[in-house]
Amino acid sequence: MVDAFRFDPRVLSYQPLVAVHNGVVTLSGVVSNLRAKQDAERDARHVVGVWDVHNLLKVRTKRFIPDLHIGQTIREALARDPT
């Protein structure tokens, strides 16, 4: 399982903790973005013998982003493409 993460640079630097029991993988630890969390789960699901993944990875950004800035970014994105 850990070998799958070694070959994915999007996940490699975060070194998630991996526990496996009866084909169920549990991922835990911290990543800095949602994409890394999703990629780690995808990598785990593509390992032979895995039939379920519990993704408990926490997303923690390296810098604080104020709610006003997040709201403005969302409004701008919806103005560009509401779908």
Q: What are phi and psi of 18, to 5 degrees?
A: -125, 130
Q: What is the average pLDDT score of the chain? A: 86
What is the per-residue pLDDT across 48-76, written as a single tens digit (0 to 9) for each? Answer: 999 999 999 999 888 888 899 999 999 99
**What is the rounded distance in angstroms from the CA atom of residue 66 to the CA atom of residue 16?**
27
State if pTM tops 0.85: no
Domains in the chain, ordered, with CATH?
2-80 (3.30.1340)
* Mean pLDDT across 20-38: 92
Share of the chain above pLDDT 90, in %: 54
pLDDT at 7 over 80: no
